[in-house]
Every structure is written in structure tokens, then in C-alpha cells.
A and B are shown apart, each in its own frame.
Chain A
Amino acid sequence: MLVGLSDLGHAYLGVLNFWSLLFGLGGALIGVIVGCMPGLSATLCIALLTTLTIKLPTNDAILILICSYVGTLYGGSRTAILLNIPGTAANAASCADGHALALRGEAGRAIGIATSGAFTSTLFGVVCLAAFTPALAEVALSFGAYEFFWLALFGVVMSGSIVGDDPVKGWLMGCLGLFVAQIGQDSLFAYDRFTFGIPQLAGGIALIPALVGAFGFSEVLITLADPIERKIVEMRDSVLPRFREVIQYWPTVLRSGVIGVLTGLMPGVGEDAGAWMSYAAAKAVSKEKELFGKGSIDGLMAAETGDMASIPGHIIPCLALGIPGSAPSAVLMSAMIIHGIQPGPMLMINHPQFVYDVVAMTTLAMISILIFGLFLVKPLLAVMRVKRTILMPIIFLLCTVGAFAGASRLFDVYCMLAVGIGAFFLRRRGYQMAPFVLGLVLGGLLDKSLRRGLVLSDGSLLPFFTRPICIGFASVTIITMMLYIPPVKSLIKSVTGAMGRKLRASATL
């Protein structure tokens, strides 16, 4: 405990120097700017910055990435409020109430609420990050191949179920991501799988070019193909953060903070789930339900608090288990691996200080968004006014550089193009990219764990279902999938309906 506190103190002292502050503020500023641009996601921002910071020392690079992660989600609320387009997927829940407030001439107030909610919830998340990551990593030390197999599968299944409107399409995308991760030399025997004699494919499809294609190039195409250019709402009132309203709505802030962190802990669920669940919970207990969607302060506060609290929540499993909680945290995890830090149960043994460094970095990110929320309102509005015909070619230029820079191969640029065009058409047909990304990141772990597990058990599947932690993960994974099978769904409905009727009948007697 005392060692942990001492490490935490060292971590905070470590970021209190000119360069760290500059990198942190710079990363957060880039994040906020990217977040302000409709459609450009935190995943793209972190992927591009990973290539930019590839030559920097590990801690400086990760600091920039974490600050940009937090900044992007915060910046996305501006677009949601002023344009009614979520800057990132996580800000979708803020659109209805935030934009309604803006249309009433209270855009500044809405931005102020978003700033104060974001600051408070990130603070709550940081406390959870510091408290739970070492504990979870200790538990994870008892995990073997069987547990990691289920954990990886659980992440992809949950992501497919929750992200988007159609679980079947989500799971298909998860399978596609897992399959793409199998392309190239396998990890046990270096055997070329699905390379079709193309030597560049032996190394597999690199994660960063695939992500830049899926989230960057496809977004460029979506934006340019949209015939309508959205108009920004004018802002007349003050944007000063409303901490008075945080105190007034403290139950919402606390509830949404807890929900955000808990959803963050679930692998593959994404920040938007935190925002929507917090929003739904706030609506369920609110006395002013009718105001939700029409400019409710409670609703906006819940949505913004939920998505921002889920960021530290997502970093917890990423560090402790090596299983990312969302697409942006998957890129963050890849960046850590590129810089020689292997997230997972061994992290607390190999790099114990790093966990606390991440806590300090997230704190710096939180302070940065408060500073930008206060002082950079007008310049950020100017960013949102830039025409898409100017912005998108520049974004594509960055996508090309981002795809190339990792391994200095033109092949990666071609992969980015192929993935981007494929992602554009898939997204238009209702397929989400997050399960694909999770599949791509977890494919290697799933393959290794399955084969190692089978060797250890001499081909028996029993240990996959009988070990205590496996039972939990396997049950949740299988039940989650079963719940969407129509006959099972109607059976559950009829059983729960009958139970409800019996309970009501006994209550009336």
C-alpha cells in the first residue's frame, strides 16, 4: 500500500516538468481539435499520434496518447452540442439534450456542463484506475491459457452485442477481425497462413494501417459523400464550467461515474455504452423524465460524465489484463507494446511504476481539458467552421503518413486504402468497426490461448468449461449469444412473463 502511494507520488513528480507538461497539453489540444471535427474518432487520433510519437521516449509518447484520448472525447461534446453531430461515437448521447440547450441560446451553458462533468468524472475514474489496476493485475496472475481464451472471446462477443444495433452483424465483424489477425505467420510455428505467396503479408496486416483505414479513410469518404453540410449554432452565453451544477446534480455525477468505470472494465464495450447506460439510468430515476431529449441538464451531465469516466475504466483491463476495453484503448495498448511495455498480468511485476505513471498522465489530461474548456473556446469554434472540402484532403494526407510511418512500407498504405474502402461500404450497411478492431487486437491472443490450452489438456475441452473463472466467462459469453436467438428470446419472455404474473397474483392475494 505504502509502496504504491510512494510510486504514485513519484509518478506525479515525474510529469511535473516542462516537457511533460508541454507534451500533455499538446496531446490534449490535438485531441480536443480532432474531437471537434465531426466523425474523426479517438481511435484515429491515437493511431495517427502513435506514428508521430514513435521515436519519443516511452513515457512521453504514452502521455501524448492518453491526453489526446481524453481530449478527443471531451472535444466531441462541442460538436454534439453545436452541430447535433457527435464528434466521436461516445458523444452521441449528448446530442439530444446538448443541442436542445444550444437551440435555446444556452450553448455556453451546455459546454460548461460538459466541461465540469468531464473533469469530475475523469477525476473519479483516475481514483478507480489507481485503486483497481494493481488489484486486478494480481488476480490476473492466476489466469492461464483457458482464462485468456475466454477473456478474448468475451471481449469480441460483448463488443459485437453492445456496439451497434444488430448483434449478428457485430459478431460477424468480430469474426472478420479475428480472421484478419490470423493472416501472416502463426505464433507457434511461423507457418504462413492466408498469405497467398505475398511476402509482405507474412508479417500480417499491421494494426495501425488497418485502424487508420477503418476509422480515418472510411470517415473521409463518408463525409465527402454526404451531400449536406451541417450548420453550426451560434454561441452567445458564457462557457465557464458549472461546478455549482455538479454539486446540484451530484447523485447523477456519482452514479454516472460508477456506471462509466464499470462499463469501462468490461472488455470491448466502448465509451458510448458508458454514456448511454448513464443516460438511461439518469432518466429512469429522474423526476423530470419529460425533459430528457429536450435540453435536460441532468441528461447532458449523465451522458458526459458516463463517457469520460469510462476512459480510465477502459485503461484498467488494458493495463491489468492486456485486454482493451474499447477501440481507442486497443490502439493505446498497441502503442505501449510498440514502445516495449507489454500490458497484462506481468506488467505489475516487470514495470510496476508504469501503472502509476499512467494514473499521473490521466490526471494531467484531466487538468488539460479543464484549461482548454476555459480558455480555448473561440479558436475551437473556428476549427468546426473549416469546410470539409479543405479538411478532408488534409485528414487523408495524415492517414497516408500514419499508415506508412510504422514500418515505412508502401504496402501498409495499400492495406489502409483497402480496409478504408471496405469499411465505408460495411458501415453503410450497418456494420460497426469496433468489434472488428477488437477482433484484430485479440486474434493473436485467442489463437495462442486456444492452442496452448488444448496442448495442456491433451485435446480435452473440459478445462475450458470447468475452471472457476472460465465457468463465469463461458456462461456470460454463451448466454449473451443465446439471448439473441429468437426461440430462446421468446422462451425467456414467456418464462419471465409467467413468473411476473404469478408474483403479481400472489401480491394481490
Chain B
Amino acid sequence: MSSPDSPAADPAAAPHQTEIGRRSDFVAALGWIALGGAILFGSWKMDRLESQDVNPYTVPGLLPGLLGIAMMLLGGWLFLRSWRRGGHESSTGEPHLSRPKISIRQLSLAIGLCMTFDIVLIGHGLPFWLAAATFVSVAILTLQHSQRKATGQRLTLRALISAVAIGLSAGLAVTVVFQQIFLVRLP
């Protein structure tokens, strides 16, 4: 039943569903076991509300504890499977072959831009439309600059004006639609 759907369904996972890095599964399995163990420990140490004469079958840590055990068991399953496939060996050379290529530079840039917007720009007194316009314009320029650099092109004045125009339009449109028309509060 585990269908052929995912390769196409999830572009992030696309080409590596069947040949997912064994090493990565091995490391992840250890992470899942540790997480399950931590959840089980946290649930076990959780107050059982005995002072309130609570029925022992309704203690708050019951389901989280069971989930911790389930995670440890499933993590153990993943661990054994990846071990059998040689995941414990330090260099199988597979992960790089099987996982789709990503541009680390573009990724870091995207994460950095998004976090700057959410953590620094909004919620600190700057009007939302201005914060949004600044973010969108800077993000377009930076991401395009990164792509242009790779192909040896230079950033033009036209691209700069168009990025600022798109940023302003997006900031104002989102503010008007959400805040003025649909009465939704913005950060």
C-alpha cells in the first residue's frame, strides 16, 4: 500500500524515497529513541495529582508516556533496519547521491531573511505595511542577486525599482485586505 505517491507528492523528498541515506536514518533513529526516552522520563516524573485524589488511570502523563514508548520502539525499528543496511558505517557515500541537491547558500539566505522579518522587523513598533514592504523588496533583491551572481549577471536599476514596487504593493495589499476589509489584526 505504501504507494508510489510520495516521490512526486513531496518535492522535498522526491528522488530519494527508496534510497534515502542509510546513515541519515541511523542518526535519526538515535534521535527518535532519545526523544521518546525524554518524553517517557518527563511523563513518568509528571505530577500524578495524588493529593487531589485523582483516579490513577487519568494521570496527565499517561498518553505522553505511551507515546514516548511508541517513539522508542519505532526508533528502535528504524535503528535496526538502518544498522542491517550498513547505516552505522561511517561513510556509505549514499546520502549525497540519493538526496536532491539543494543550494545551501540560497537556503541559508532564505532562513536568515525570514527569521529577520519575523523576529526583528515585526512586533517592535514598525508599521506592518512598511516592515512587509521592506522584507519583500530586500528578499527579492537578495535572492535574485544570488542567482544573477551565479550566472555572471549584474543587478540593474530596473530590477531594483521593480523589487521595491512589488514589495510596496504586497505590503499595502496585505495590510488593506486583512486589516481594512476582513478586520484581521496584523502584527
With A224-B107, A394-B136 known as contacts, the answer to whether A193 contacts B2 (CB < 8 A) is no
Q: How far is the CA of A181 from the CA of B121 in the complex (A)?
A: 30
B16 to chain A, nearest CB (A): 7
Q: A191-B47, A225-B102 are in contact. Are A161 and B143 (CB under 8 A)?
A: no
A393–B58 touching, CB < 8 Å: no
Name the contact of A396 in the complex, choosing from B46, B117, B182 (C-beta under 8 A): B117
Report the separation of the CA atoms of residues A387 and B185 in the bound assembly, to the nearest whole angstrom: 29
Find out whether the CB atom of A417 lies under 8 angstroms from the CB atom of B184: no
A372 interface contact, C-beta 8 A: no
Q: Verify B63–A413 contact, CB threshold 8 A.
A: no
In the assembled complex, A25 has its CB within 8 A of some CB on chain B: no
Q: Tell yes or no: B160 within 8 A of A by CB.
A: no
A404 CA to B118 CA in the complex, in Å? 10
Residue of A nearest to B186 (CB): A401
Given contacts A179-B39, A179-B64, contact A417 B174 (CB under 8 A): no
Point out the residue from B12, B24, B68, B118 that lies within 8 Å of A414, measured CB to CB.
B118
CA distance A191 to B10 in the complex (A): 38
Interface segment, A47-55, A239-247, A317-325? Answer: A47-55
Query: In this complex, what residue of A is CB-closest to B21?
Result: A429
Cross-chain contact B174 with A401 (CB below 8 angstroms): yes
Most chain A beta carbons < 10 A, residue from B24, B28, B57, B119: B57
The CA-CA distance from A107 to B186 in the complex, in Å, is 41
Encode contact with B along A77-98: 1 for CB under 8 Å, 0 otherwise: 0000000011001101101000
- Taking CB atoms, residues of chain B closer than 8 Å to A404 are 185-187
A410 contacts partner chain B, Cβ-Cβ < 8 Å:
yes
Within 8 A of A (CB), among B96-135: 99-104, 106-107, 109-111, 113-115, 117-119, 122-123, 132, 135
Whole-angstrom distance between the Cβ of B52 and the nearest chain A Cβ: 7
| Residues B32 and A172 in contact, CB atoms below 8 Å apart | yes
Q: With A and B bound together, what is the CA distance between A188 and B42 in angstroms?
A: 19
Q: Which residues of A contact B113 (CB under 8 A)?
A: 393
> Once the chains are docked, how many angstroms separate the CA of A428 from the CA of B14?
9
Let me know if A417 and B114 touch, CB within 8 A.
yes
Q: A54 and B13 in contact (CB under 8 A), knowing A224-B107, A224-B143?
A: no
Q: Given A53-B182, A189-B54, A427-B13, is A397 in contact with B111 using a C-beta cutoff of 8 Å?
A: no
Chain B residues with CB under 8 Å of A106's CB are none
Query: How many angstroms between the C-alpha atoms of A191 and B17 in the bound complex?
Result: 40
The total number of A-B Cβ pairs within 8 Å is 246
Give Cα distance in the complex from A90 to B9, angstroms: 7
Answer whether residue A197 sits at the interface, using C-beta atoms and an 8 A cutoff: no
CB pair B9 A221 closer than 8 Å: no
B10→A401 contact, CB < 8 A:
no
Q: Are B2 and A167 in contact (CB under 8 A)?
A: yes
B153 touches A (CB below 8 Å):
no
B77 CB within 8 Å of chain A: yes
* B152 CB–A CB distance under 8 Å: no
A193 touches B54 (CB 8 A): no
Chain A residue nearest to B185 (CB atoms) is: A408
Interface residues of A in 173-223 (CB under 8 A from B): 175-176, 178-179, 182, 186, 188-189, 191, 193-194, 217-218, 220-222
B1 and A393 contacting across the interface, CB-CB below 8 Å: no
- Distance in Å from the Cβ of A405 to the closest Cβ of chain B? 5
- B187 in contact with A410 (CB, 8 Å): yes
Complex partner residue of A459 from B5, B57, B170, CB under 8 angstroms: B57
**Is A455 at the interface (CB under 8 A from chain B)?**
yes
Provide the residues of chain B in CB contact with A414, threshold 8 Å.
118-119
Q: Give the total of B residues in contact with A, Cβ under 8 Å.
A: 87
Query: Is residue A234 within 8 Å, beta carbon to beta carbon, of the partner chain?
Result: no
Chain A residues, Cβ within 8 Å of B143: 224, 389, 392-393
Given A396-B114, A401-B178, A429-B24, A193 contacting B60 (CB threshold 8 A): yes
Cα-based distance from A171 to B111 in the complex (angstroms): 28
In contact, B106 and A400 (Cβ under 8 angstroms): no
Chain B proximity mask over A374-414: 1 for CB below 8 Å, otherwise 0: 00000000000001011011101110110011001010011
Q: Are A451 and B58 in contact, CB atoms less than 8 angstroms apart?
A: yes
Interface positions, chain B 126-184, Cβ under 8 Å from A, are: 132, 135-136, 139-140, 143-144, 147, 166, 170-171, 174, 177-178, 182-184
Mark A31-54 against chain B: 1 for CB-CB distance below 8 A, else 0.
000000011000000000001111
B34 at the interface (CB under 8 A from A): no
Q: Are A189 and B32 in contact (CB under 8 A)?
A: no
| Contacts A86-B9, A421-B111; A225 near B74 (Cβ below 8 A) | no
Q: Please, which residues of chain B bring their CB within 8 A of the CB of A93?
A: 5, 8
User: B93 near A: Cβ within 8 Å?
Assistant: no
- Within 8 Å CB of A290, what residues of B? none
- Decide: A52 and B54 in contact? CB cutoff 8 A: no
Q: Is B16 within 8 A of A430, CB to CB?
A: yes
Binding site for A on B (CB under 8 A): 1-13, 16-18, 20-21, 24-25, 28, 32, 36, 39, 42, 46-47, 49, 52, 54-58, 60-64, 67-68, 70-71, 74-75, 77-78, 81, 99-104, 106-107, 109-111, 113-115, 117-119, 122-123, 132, 135-136, 139-140, 143-144, 147, 166, 170-171, 174, 177-178, 182-187
List the 10 shortest-distance A-B pairs measured between CB atoms, nearest first.
Answer: A92-B8, A393-B139, A454-B57, A89-B9, A427-B12, A225-B102, A225-B107, A165-B17, A389-B143, A224-B110
Q: A171-B70, A424-B12, A427-B13 are in contact. List 9 more A-B contacts (CB 8 A).
A: A164-B10, A175-B36, A175-B67, A188-B60, A224-B110, A226-B11, A389-B143, A404-B186, A429-B28
Please name 6 pairs of A and B residues whose Cβ atoms are closer than 8 Å in the assembled complex, sorted by A.
A85-B11, A165-B2, A165-B3, A178-B63, A393-B113, A417-B115
